[in-house]
């Protein structure tokens, strides 16, 4: 079992816990913030963590985030490596509002999971690849 050390910067948010169903763990807004359509903000999640060596966190919106608040994550998915692990390296959610909205402190706005980092790789330039072409980007090769 891997251990994640966590520092809470807001004592009002509920503690993070791993639930039995699913691999993703919810994160909460650590502040109340008002956004108008077209505005963006880095919403504090109120935590700093030390991930296990060899792992990184992937942060993404919850499936209900857009429906409830009309916000999207500006970088689609966030990657936090285990070197971002100081006491004041507070995790944030980069949000863009498409409607006027208010996110309340303690609202569950995103989620994360930890995954092993990419192994060491090297690139080899070739003139041709050995696989069959699938028909181009965005295609499974089926018309």
Mean pLDDT for all residues in the chain: 92
Cβ atoms of 96 and 42 within 8 Å: the answer is: no
* Banded model confidence at residue 9, pLDDT cuts 50, 70, 90: very high
pLDDT digits (tens, 9 = 90+) for 57-107: 999 999 999 999 999 999 888 999 989 999 999 999 999 999 999 999 999
* Banded model confidence at residue 1, pLDDT cuts 50, 70, 90: confident
In whole angstroms, what is the distance from residue 109 CA to residue 44 CA?
11
pLDDT at 124 over 70: yes
The whole-number pLDDT of residue 12 equals 95
Q: Which residue has the higher pLDDT, 17 or 137?
A: 17
Q: What is the DSSP letter of 131?
A: S
* Banded model confidence at residue 109, pLDDT cuts 50, 70, 90: very high
Token output for 15: 């503690």
pLDDT digits (tens, 9 = 90+) for 18-62: 877 778 999 999 999 999 999 999 999 999 999 999 999 999 999
DSSP letter string, 20-74:
SSSS-EEEE-SS-EEE-TT-EEEEE--EEEEPPTTEEEEEEE-TTHHHHH-EEET
Q: Rounded to the nearest 10 degrees, how much is the dihedral formed by the CA atoms of 37, 33, 29, 61? A: 0
Is 100 part of the annotated catalytic residue set? no
* Distance between start and end Cα atoms, the chain: 46
Token output for 50: 């030390």
Catalytic residue among 20, 81, 127, 130: 81
The whole-number pLDDT of residue 138 equals 64
């Amino acid at each position: 079992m891997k251990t994640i050390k966590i520092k809470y910067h807001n004592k009002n948010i509920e503690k993070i816990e791993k639930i039995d169903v699913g691999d993703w763990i919810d994160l909460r807004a650590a502040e109340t913030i008002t956004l108008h359509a077209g505005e963006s903000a880095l919403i504090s999640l109120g935590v700093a963590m030390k991930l296990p060596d060899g792992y990184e966190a992937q942060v993404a919106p919850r499936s209900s985030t857009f429906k409830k608040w009309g916000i999207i994550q500006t970088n689609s998915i966030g990657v936090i490596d285990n070197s971002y692990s100081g006491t004041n390296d507070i995790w944030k959610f980069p949000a863009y509002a498409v409607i006027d909205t208010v996110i309340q402190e303690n609202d569950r706005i995103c989620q994360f999971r930890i995954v092993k980092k990419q192994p060491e790789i090297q690139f080899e330039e070739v003139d041709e690849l050995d696989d069959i072409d699938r028909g181009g980007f965005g295609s499974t090769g089926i018309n």
